[in-house]
Amino acid sequence: MLSKIKKSFLIDHTIGTSTGQYIYMDKSFANKDEKARLISPVFKSKSNEKCEFRFFYFYNGPLLGGLNIYMRTKANGPEKLLFYVNEELGNFWERKDIIIDEKEPFQIVIEGVTGSGLFGK
């Protein structure tokens, strides 16, 4: 069974209210190296301004797998890796800000890759 990315509606880390959302990847029935992806709508920068993609992530436990963030300018086109993590960070939320300097319309692709560990969730 493929791993899934689920939405949960409890408390968002960024704004601290129940109106926010977070996602997590459940590895319960997945094999090592299976992938789940979220693909954003198309974004356009205004007047050649840079865009900022800010997110928080929690990456704690052995043999988790990986988290990759890509950008692409065409549907199913080549992807540029903007960020990745594949090593345990600790029992805390980490903030990441990515500045995107792209003149063309673009999409953000968030990819989770399952690891081999029991806690790879």
pLDDT tens for each residue of 29-69: 778 888 889 999 999 877 778 899 988 888 877 777 889 99
Q: CB under 8 Å to 95, separation ≥6 — which residues?
A: 54, 55, 56
Q: Phi and psi for 80 in degrees, rounded to 5?
A: -105, 125
For residue range 73-87, list pLDDT tens digits in order. Answer: 988 889 999 999 988
Amino acid identity for residue 1 in this structure:
M
| Per-residue tokens: 62 | 């052995």
Q: Which residues of 59-76 are buried (b: 16+ CB within 10 A; e: fewer)?
A: bebeebbbbbbbbbeeee
Integer CA distances (angstroms), 101 to 35, 52, 105, 120, in order: 27, 9, 11, 33
For residue range 84-118, list pLDDT tens digits in order. Answer: 998 888 888 888 999 999 989 999 999 988 887 66
Q: What is the DSSP string of 48-74?
A: T--EEEEEEEE--STT-EEEEEEEESS
The pLDDT confidence band at residue 12, using thresholds 50, 70 and 90, is low
